[in-house]
Amino acid sequence: MNAEILSVGTELLLGNIVNTDARDLAVTLSELGINVFWQTVVGDNRERLTQAVEIARRRADLIVTTGGLGPTCDDLTKQTVCAALGVELYYDRRAEDELRAYFRIGKGGTMTDNNLQQCWLPVGCTPFYNTCGTAPGCGFTAPDGTHVLILPGPPKELNAMMAHGGVDFLRSLSDEHIVSHNIMTFGMGESRIESMLRDEMNALQNPTLAPYAKEGEVRLRVTAKAKSEAEAEAMMAPVVADVQRLLGDKVYGIDTPSLEDTAMRLLLARKETFAAAESCTGGLIAKRITDIPGSSGVFRGGVTVYTNDVKMLLGVKPETLDRYSAVSRETAVELADCVRVRLGATYGLSVTGVAGPDSDGLHPVGTVFVGLSTAEKTYVRALQLGEKSDRSRIRTLSANHAFDMLRRCILGLPVE
Amino acid sequence: MNAEILSVGTELLLGNIVNTDARDLAVTLSELGINVFWQTVVGDNRERLTQAVEIARRRADLIVTTGGLGPTCDDLTKQTVCAALGVELYYDRRAEDELRAYFRIGKGGTMTDNNLQQCWLPVGCTPFYNTCGTAPGCGFTAPDGTHVLILPGPPKELNAMMAHGGVDFLRSLSDEHIVSHNIMTFGMGESRIESMLRDEMNALQNPTLAPYAKEGEVRLRVTAKAKSEAEAEAMMAPVVADVQRLLGDKVYGIDTPSLEDTAMRLLLARKETFAAAESCTGGLIAKRITDIPGSSGVFRGGVTVYTNDVKMLLGVKPETLDRYSAVSRETAVELADCVRVRLGATYGLSVTGVAGPDSDGLHPVGTVFVGLSTAEKTYVRALQLGEKSDRSRIRTLSANHAFDMLRRCILGLPVE
């Protein structure tokens, strides 16, 4: 079964809101084994909505609409969709009772008459009464065989209605399951991974394998479709194993959210901690680790050493800065050592470099040294992140490298 | 002119990412006076993308595509859109030069061959070279008169390319000028501002006035449409003045990018500096100020004091932590004073609070104290940011308050 999500709302076309409804529905539909091949957004406009339904019914087995169910004259989804599909509306008494309860009619509440237009539903539908708003939704199958879900726009109402009525309606139409896994990698570019895995990716039909680049990382998504979740998992297992064998320790997790999350969980398990001295990343490492609830168990604290005298306050020797400059392997070593010792952490991380847009006069933009200090040894990665990379990318990649070094050190893998 | 946004990416259909590109484009197109009547999302699939272009060319004057421009075999937007519209591709030498520079070819870098497919561009197009990624985009007009913008999917690349090439290309297609100004405010909620300005907003047709809430701030956008930029500016001036008069010192700038940027410019003009001691914001203040090139002139450095003993290392008295706890007005004062003195800054900022999701056992989630220390006086704002707010919102709002206090202190406005 393949589906089209049809979002109705001028506020989407104007960019006043982001279409999180389409994302939420896409996730749920995909979990149910329903392929979403199209998403369309159209305004609160009868003519264009009719056109959209005409197009969708030809190319999709299931149309899921969101929005346009409320009490105002702009709300015309139900009438328009049903007219286009040749389905009559009837007045649903229970919908009216639910509305009266919502507005506390008879208990001091009031309700404007235009609310009652929400009680008209397609003949033969399964109504989904709204548990956290006014407009009911519904599921039905049109005379031409097109399945239709009509759902409200506010995300809270949409998600509650999908969970309580929509999913059951769809399950009754399909018996296929789709399951995905994300293989998280760091340290190899998308084009390199693609060229290593191209044959495998092209050969695979079910499961499929596809790369997604994101801020200096590459994720490989494996997706399988089967009669049951267990069968889908079994189909994916050899592909996941194969990718892990090919990419080795560049794989930092399966379905894990981020490098910092992986590092944090490794530290928690070992009751170890880290601290960070950041020059060009300016607090980004601290910010990213403290984004995660529970990071106080592993993060002692950080110092943003944005000027040379603050570097010296932390303990970097003036001679080091004079002789090698702030952007150097030597400074990275002292920063990592000092922050580890001063803050009493198991590991000290440091970053010093040129994030741009201007050079420091000594090094090209993108020159970055990332240090990792342990009680036994201090490691440094000397990076060239590209003179054309922007400040934000250089900072993000530098922090990625820092978390990657931490992970690799904890696991006993080569760090530099 | 009316437009269709055509987003290409299986990851959108699977719900792996939200379509913020469509939102960002919709806002920009609407500011340019271009109506967006349709948005379509289609996967990385040649046949369906061709169908989508066939439909879009019939109902839109302008098609804006996002995504599918990268080096992998999944990336087929340019080829497919151009084939559908009858436009040939040519190999752009400058695009190759830009790629070679990006990958530092000749300076030790390597690039896989599949990257070169990105250098093929539509004959007769205006190329938009990518300033923060690899794939170039372009603008062109097809033989049937359809205007086309082809843009990359990663939001940063998309937005940079729209700002640097896309907007100019679209402006050249029309002789109407639409100009906007953003009035940036902090410290007043959207509903309060909306009720103060509702009559004015409803009465205005050209220019228009509309509020946009964003992470604890409210921006008021004034937009005028006229035959020249000067005429549009003249139409907007009285509205901007009126809003400034009504909202007073809650307005922190016109078209300024952020609170931190405003604070930075004030400090630069006075040759003053600040330093920050962050507990619950965990480096976010440092990260946000160092996001801005040139911040090294005003930011001495920061300390993420994520644990009590790191707070004491900075100089907070053990008695203060014992008697008042880490989340207290007194701790905020000492943190701000210590970081100012230790890092030799004009101003010291501090944040200590409960960002959640768990309480500290003493205070509800959302309890935050923000300190600002000067040589003369130390100020504290005691905030209740809402027990139902999430961690990210509490951290963002806390940092906003810190930058707002700094701005107000520099300007001699009431701080607390």
Beta-carbon pairs below 8 A across chains A and B: 270
**SS3 for B51-85, per residue?**
HHHHHHHHHCCEEEEECCCCCCCCCCHHHHHHHHH
pLDDT band at residue B5 using 50, 70 and 90 as cut-offs: very high
Q: Which residues pair with A210 in a beta bridge?
A: A221
Give the pLDDT score at B210: 83
| Lowest mean pLDDT segment, chosen from B25-29, B137-141, B208-212, B327-331 | B208-212
Strand locations in A255-366 (E):
274-278, 299-304, 347-353
Q: How far apart are the first and last CA of chain B?
A: 49
- Which of B14, B51, B279, B350 best tests the A interface by mutation, with the highest count of A CBs <10 A? B14
Using an 8 Å CB-CB cutoff, list chain A residues near B32: none
- Amino acid symbol at A47: E
A170, containing H or E segment: helix A167-171
Residue A375 burial (CB < 10 Å; 0-12/13-18/19+)?
exposed
Are B259 and B284 a contacting pair, CB within 8 Å? no
Q: Which residue has the higher pLDDT, A72 or B252?
A: B252
Across the interface, whether the CB atoms of B41 and A42 are under 8 A apart is answered: no
Average pLDDT for chain B? 93
Give the pLDDT score at B184: 96
Give the pLDDT score at A218: 92
B131: phi then psi, degrees, rounded to nearest 5:
-85, -10
The domain A2-171 is placed in CATH, from the list 2.30.40.10, 2.60.120.380, 3.40.980.10, 3.40.50.1820, at 3.40.980.10
Nearest CA in chain A to B38: A42
Measure in Å the smallest separation between the Cα of A17 and chain B Cα atoms.
7
Nearest CA in chain A to B284: A287
Cα separation, A356 vs A367, in Å, equals 10
ipTM confidence score: 0.70
Nearest CA in chain A to B31: A14
- Give the pLDDT confidence of A68-125 residue by residue, as tens digits: 998 887 789 999 999 999 999 999 999 999 999 988 888 888 888 888 999 999 999 9
Q: Indicate the residue of B15, B43, B305 with minimum beta-carbon distance to A23.
A: B15
Q: Which residues pair with A248 in a beta bridge?
A: none
Q: Indicate the residue of A40, A280, A388 with minimum beta-carbon distance to B101.
A: A388
Measure in Å the smallest separation between the Cα of B20 and chain A Cα atoms.
6
Across the interface, whether the CB atoms of B392 and A291 are under 8 A apart is answered: yes
Nearest CA in chain B to A215: B154
Nearest CA in chain A to B343: A310
Contacts of B27 (CB under 8 A, 6+ apart): A14, A15
Share of chain A above pLDDT 70, in %: 100
Using an 8 Å CB-CB cutoff, list chain B residues near A365: none
Classified as helix, coil or strand, B340 is helix
| Lowest mean pLDDT segment, chosen from A70-79, A251-260, B173-182, B332-341 | B173-182
Nearest CA in chain A to B275: A304
Q: Indicate the residue of A22, A357, A384 with minimum beta-carbon distance to B19.
A: A22
- Give the pLDDT confidence of B48-99 residue by residue, as tens digits: 999 999 999 999 999 999 999 999 888 999 999 999 999 999 999 999 999 9
- Which of A4, A6, A13 best tests the B interface by mutation, with the highest count of B CBs <10 A? A13
- Which of A8, A66, A388 best tests the B interface by mutation, with the highest count of B CBs <10 A? A388
Give the pLDDT score at B284: 96
Nearest CA in chain A to B160: A390
Q: Which fold has domain A177-254?
A: Alpha-Beta Plaits (3.30.70)
Write down the H helix ranges in B60-154.
77-85, 93-102
Give the pLDDT score at A66: 97
Using an 8 Å CB-CB cutoff, list chain B residues near A26: 12-15
Across the interface, whether the CB atoms of A30 and B15 are under 8 A apart is answered: yes
Across the interface, whether the CB atoms of A13 and B39 are under 8 A apart is answered: yes
pLDDT at A289 over 80: yes
Residue from B303, B184, B203 nearest B254 by CA:
B184
Positive or negative CA dihedral for B170, B172, B176, B180? positive
Across the interface, whether the CB atoms of A300 and B306 are under 8 A apart is answered: yes
Q: Edge-to-edge strand order for the sheet containing B137-141?
A: A126-128, A137-141, A147-151, A62-66, A2-8, A35-42, B35-42, B2-8, B62-66, B147-151, B137-141, B126-128
* DSSP string of A192-242, one letter each residue: HHHHHHHHHHHH--SSEEEEEEETTEEEEEEEEEESSHHHHHHHHHHHHHH
Across the interface, whether the CB atoms of A26 and B11 are under 8 A apart is answered: no
- Which of B41, B59, B267, B389 best tests the A interface by mutation, with the highest count of A CBs <10 A? B41
Across the interface, whether the CB atoms of B300 and A310 are under 8 A apart is answered: yes
| Lowest mean pLDDT segment, chosen from A108-112, A264-268, A411-415 | A108-112
Q: What share of chain A is helix, strand, coil (3-state, %, to 5)?
A: 45, 25, 30
Give the pLDDT score at B76: 94
Q: How far apart are the first and last CA of chain A?
A: 49
Nearest CA in chain A to B391: A291
Nearest CA in chain B to A26: B15
- The widest CA-to-CA distance across chain A, in whole angstroms, is 85
Class of domain A259-410: alpha beta
* C-alpha separations of A48 from A22, B216, B240 in Å: 19, 36, 36
Give the pLDDT score at B32: 86
Cα separation, B151 vs B301, in Å, equals 38
Using an 8 Å CB-CB cutoff, list chain A residues near B162: none
Domain layout of chain B by residue ranges: 2-171, 177-254, 259-410
pLDDT at B23 over 90: yes
Give the pLDDT score at B359: 87
Across the interface, whether the CB atoms of B302 and A283 are under 8 A apart is answered: yes
* C-alpha separations of A304 from A76, A87, A275, A283, A376 in Å: 55, 64, 11, 6, 24
Are A149 and A65 a contacting pair, CB within 8 Å? yes
Cα separation, B3 vs B27, in Å, equals 12
Cα separation, B88 vs B316, in Å, equals 68
Using an 8 Å CB-CB cutoff, list chain B residues near A283: 278, 283-287, 290, 302, 304
Cα separation, B304 vs A339, in Å, equals 12
What size, in residues, is chain B? 416
Instruction: For tokens 């979002």, name the residue.
Output: A7
Across the interface, whether the CB atoms of A306 and B290 are under 8 A apart is answered: yes
Burial B18-30 (b: 16+ CB within 10 A, else e): bbebbbbbbbbbb
- Give the pLDDT confidence of A304-335 residue by residue, as tens digits: 998 898 999 999 999 999 999 999 999 999 99
Using an 8 Å CB-CB cutoff, list chain B residues near A19: 18-19, 22-23, 39
- Give the pLDDT confidence of B296-311 residue by residue, as tens digits: 999 999 999 988 989 9
pLDDT at A176 over 80: no
Cα separation, A193 vs A215, in Å, equals 15
According to DSSP, the β-strands at A208-214 and A217-226 are antiparallel
Burial A43-53 (b: 16+ CB within 10 A, else e): bbbeebbbbbb
Across the interface, whether the CB atoms of B70 and A190 are under 8 A apart is answered: yes
Cα separation, A26 vs A38, in Å, equals 10
Cα separation, B300 vs A314, in Å, equals 13
Tell me, what DSSP letter sits at residue B162? Answer: I
Measure in Å the smallest separation between the Cα of B293 and chain A Cα atoms.
7
Measure in Å the smallest separation between the Cα of B343 and chain A Cα atoms.
6
- Give the pLDDT confidence of A332-370 residue by residue, as tens digits: 999 999 999 999 999 999 999 999 888 888 999 999 999
Tell me, what DSSP letter sits at residue B294? Answer: T
Reported as half-sphere exposure (CB side, CA atoms, 13 A), residue A401 has a value of 27
Give the pLDDT score at B198: 84
Contacts of A401 (CB under 8 A, 6+ apart): A368, A370, A381, A383
Using an 8 Å CB-CB cutoff, list chain B residues near A302: 282-283, 302-304, 306
B249: phi then psi, degrees, rounded to nearest 5:
-80, 5
